[in-house]
Amino acid sequence: MTTESLAWFKSSYSSNGGSCVEVAADLVASHEMVPVRDSKVQAGPVLALPASSFAAFIAGVKAGGFSA
């Protein structure tokens, strides 16, 4: 997977504290994958999650399934 050409973004709820992840939605339609990376180490590894798994994770977050 070439990550240089992806359009990375992080949540608008993210502050500049540095503990954020970035995602790229570019590959959802073509490969059904959501690339995720550490915003502090942009040249580091990328985790490619199945779109269905990422959607389930987001649904869990919105439902309050994860506490800090």
pLDDT, tens digit, 9 for 90 and up, residues 36-63: 999 888 889 999 999 999 999 999 989 9
Terminal CA-CA length for the chain = 32
Tell me the average pLDDT across 3-19.
77
Average pLDDT, the chain: 86
Per-residue burial over 7-39, b if 16 or more Cβ lie within 10 Å, else e, is ebeeeeeeeeeeeeebbbebbeeeeebbbbbbe
- pLDDT for the residue 8: 92
- pLDDT for the residue 66: 83
Q: What percent of the chain stands above pLDDT 70? A: 88
User: Is pLDDT above 70 for 1?
Assistant: no
